[in-house]
Each structure stands twice: as structure tokens, then as C-alpha cells.
Amino acid sequence: MADRVDFWRDYEDCVRHSGVPEGQIRWYLRWIEQFVRVFKGVALRDRSVADVTAFLDDLKADATLLPWQIEQARQALRILYRDLFGYDGRSMARDRGNMMRDRVTQPRQLDALHAPLLTDLRAAIRMRHYSPRTEQSYVGWVRRFIAFHDLQAPVSLGALHIRTFLNYLATEKGVASSTQNQALNAIVFLYIQVLNSDPGDFSDFTRAKTPIRKPRTLSREQVSVLLDTLTMPHNLMALLMYGAGLRIAECLALRVRDISFDEGTLHIYGKGAKERIAMLPPEAVDLLREQIEAARVFYEEDRRHDSGVEWSQCFVFSSCALAVDPATRTVERGHMTRNGVQVALKDAARRAGIVANVTPHCLRHSFAAHMLEDGTHIERIQELLGHARLSTTAIYAHPMNRPGAKPVNPLTRLRALMAEQE
């Protein structure tokens, strides 16, 4: 934790010394926070020029961002790598000892050599209606796999090469198990769905360790203060994430058709194309009706321009700006961005005096933890959260979250006993 605090303090100092006006520094921090979330599990020092380029390309594809914002993000990354880490363009392109061997150090060469393969990979992902974030992740890991093996074509590689790469991630880079699984899924998808090839048996690869972390949650009082501080539409989003256990992506992707006011339910299309029914909190009903009416204004405006979108298909949290769909290259009205929600939550937490790092997902964590405290059966919580395995939900069954009396520290009991004897 101390290292993390030191990093952000050092980066903020670098931004300040580079001449950025005081009022703009927080936005530079926000760009780096967003960059951190890309390829989560891979350290910033281990990222490549290609990773930076891909991040900026994604920002350029977001029609809600203005050119000056893209340039601000570029400058934030330049300060990070040039001023804080001491890299220049040449040093980032070299195979430095403290950087990953699987770095894409020559992105143009890799893309030129394997353009048809990467195009087929993207097409296969989109055909299965995977999310844009999954596409970005899979393409990124396949590019890293190719770079790790000196730009060789995957069709010429096999089980041994896959095992070597996965072992490297676990033993040399020390990535989390979720990160290694992400790489594994991307590579298996490539071989089976794109190359129509059996990758062979590499099941004896070294598994990355699974860190056991208690989910970060807020107290009920903190949730209450946060909800009171937020304004529309972000307070409604927070109500749904905390009151229905929604992921941020599920909340933003809600469409008009997914809401049943009569039954008090939400039809959720979750990760891995899994569907579930979530609770619609009564406290959110009036605000949700209000938000739907706001979305209708955009729908009527788009209908005048022959958008062809049915009302039931419209996003509840419709974006105020049109954007280019990266898959179809057509101009459409999407939903609001997750970055906007994250910024709103952090800002509200700061104004409410909440020291904890408030993220959209900690509201979902709090939903599960508080329901467990209230005695809800863990299988029911698993169902509401959409977890495939009960073991995933069981992490909320931390001793401090179990229903009934809170455990008493033995030192407290000892002192109480000594006080009685005096």
C-alpha cells in the first residue's frame, strides 16, 4: 500500500514540475488510472509502446472525447514514462532486463506480418458477440504471445510454446491467476476458433497463485452518505449497483426492454453471455422512470434522423453524443462511459469525506456483503450476482461478514477478564 501511495505522489510531483496547471493535475492522474485498468495485472513498467498506442487508439475511437482530451492523455503517458520511469522512445523499444520478454516492441512489424490473423481473430470474437473489452484483451494477449516467440506465426507453434509462455507469466512475471487465465483463454480461443487447430496438451503448465483478498466494501453509513452526495444519473447507477448487485458494465448496458416495473426485476446480460434476473430496488423506481424519459428524448431525436433503432432497444443511460461503433463502423448512440461513472464516484467520495477507494465494483461487493450480514443464504446471493461458482461468492463469507454477533478480539476478552478480577 505504501508503494502505491508513493507512486501516485511521485507521479503527481512529475506532472506539477512539467508545468501542468494545478487545476488540471487531477485529470492527468485520471488518465493514468484508466491506463492502469488496461491489461490489469501487468505492471506499468512492463508495458510496451504497443500498449500505449492501443490505449490511445481506443480513446480516439470514442466520439465523446475531444482532440484536446486525447492529447492530454498522451501527455500524461509521456510524463509517466519519460519523467517518472526515465524511458525514452528508444529505451522502451529495447528488450530491457526489467521489462517483459512478451512485450510487443515492434508493433508495426507484428501487425504487418500477422494482419490477416488478427483480423480473423477480431471477426471471430465479434461473431460471438463478446464485449469490446474482451476483444481488446484477447487481441492484446495473442499479440504478446506472438511477440514472446519472436514474431513466429501461431500456426507453427504448439503445446510446448503455449506452456512456455504460461509458465513465464507465472514464474518470472508473477502475474495473478486471473491474468494468466485471461492469457490462456485468448490463446485457446485463437487455436480452436480461428485456426481450427488442436493446440495439444499443455495442461501441466505452472499455475499462477490465486491471491486471497477480501473484497473491498463500504459500510452502510458510507453507502448512505455516498448516495446522498451523488446526483443524477450517477446516483441512480449507484443505487442499481448497490441495490441490485450489478457490475458497472451491466448497469450501463441496461436497455428499456430489460426493466419490468410490474415484477420489480431487471433482466441482466452478464459476463460470458450469461443471463440472470436481478432485483429492482423499490427506491430506484422513480429515478429509473425519470431516466427512461430522458432517454426517450434522445430516441425521438434519433428517430427524426431515421436511426432505425426500436424504443425497447434503447439504452437507459444513453450517451448524449453519437459515436462510431468500432465493430460495425456505423454512427450510433451508445451508452454513457464507465470512466464518467468512476470519476463521479471518486469525486462524490471525496466530497463526502470517505477515505476508502470507492469504485463501482465495491458497491457490488457491498451489496453481497450486506445481504450476507442480514442472513441471506449464500446460494441466493450467488444467483443474484450471477457467479458461475459458489466458491466465488464464498469470498464474501469472511468472518466479519457472517450473520449473527461479530467476533470479539481475544485481547479484548482478556482485558475484560482481567478487569473483572481486579
* 244-282 pLDDT per residue, tens: 999 998 999 999 999 999 999 999 988 767 889 999 999
Please name the residue that has the C-alpha cell 501542468. Answer: 20
Q: Which of 271, 296, 346, 402 is catalytic?
A: 271
Of 163, 247, 365, 370, catalytic: 247
349: enclosing H helix or E strand: helix 338-352
Q: Is residue 409 part of a domain?
A: no
Q: Does residue 197 sit within a domain? A: yes
For the ranges 80-89, 299-308, 376-385, the lowest mean pLDDT is seen at 80-89
What per-residue confidence (pLDDT) applies to 39? 66
The CATH number given to whatever domain includes residue 300 is 1.10.443.10
85 touches 43 (CB < 8 A): no
Which of 41, 63, 97 represents a domain boundary (last residue)?
Answer: 97
What is the per-residue pLDDT across 289-299, written as a single tens digit (0 to 9) for each? 999 999 999 88
312 lies in the same domain as 345: yes
Shared domain for 277 and 382, answered yes or no, is yes
Say which of 216, 346, 361, 402 is annotated catalytic.
361
Q: Over the stretch 199-248, which tens digit does the pLDDT of each residue have?
A: 888 888 888 877 666 778 899 999 999 999 999 999 999 999 999 999 99
Verify that 379 and 251 share a domain, yes or no: yes
Contact 264, 280 (CB under 8 A): yes
How far apart, in whole angstroms, are the C-alpha atoms of residue 322 and residue 173? 41
- pLDDT of the residue at 405: 44
Sign of CA dihedral 271, 272, 275, 276: negative
| Active site (annotated) includes residue 161 | no
Residue 185: what pLDDT?
94
Cα atoms in the Cβ-side hemisphere of radius 13 Å centred on 158: 4
Q: Do 123 and 109 share a structural domain?
A: yes
Q: Are residues 13 and 81 in the same domain?
A: yes
The CATH number covering residue 106 comes to: 1.10.150.130
What confidence score (pLDDT) does residue 95 get? 39
Assess whether 220 carries a catalytic annotation: no
> Is 377 an active-site residue?
no
The enclosing domain of 86 has a CATH number of 1.10.150
Predicted confidence band of residue 412 (pLDDT cuts 50, 70, 90)? low
Known catalytic membership, residue 289: no
Domain containing residue 205:
100-209
What's the total number of domains in the chain?
A: 3
My answer on whether 272 and 351 are in the same domain is: yes
Q: Is the distance from CB of 94 to CB of 367 less than 8 angstroms?
A: no
| Domain co-membership, 150 together with 77 | no
- State whether residue 266 is helix, strand or coil: strand
- Our CA dihedral for 70, 72, 76, 81, rounded to 10 degrees, sits at 60
* pLDDT value at residue 5: 63
pTM of the full structure = 0.59
Active-site residue, selected from the candidate residues 161, 338, 364, 370:
364
Residue 331 is given by DSSP the state: E
Same domain for 286 and 381, yes or no, is yes
Query: Among all chains, which residue has been given the C-alpha cell 450486506?
Result: 370
Concerning whether 406 is annotated as a catalytic residue, the answer is no
Mean per-residue pLDDT over the chain, rounded: 82
Is the pLDDT assigned to residue 419 strictly greater than 80?
no
Concerning whether 247 is annotated as a catalytic residue, the answer is yes
Same domain, 147 and 120: yes
User: What pLDDT, in 10s, does the model give residues 119-132?
Assistant: 999 999 989 888 77
- For the stretch 128-186, pLDDT in tens is 888 777 888 898 899 889 988 888 899 988 888 999 899 988 888 778 888 899 999 99
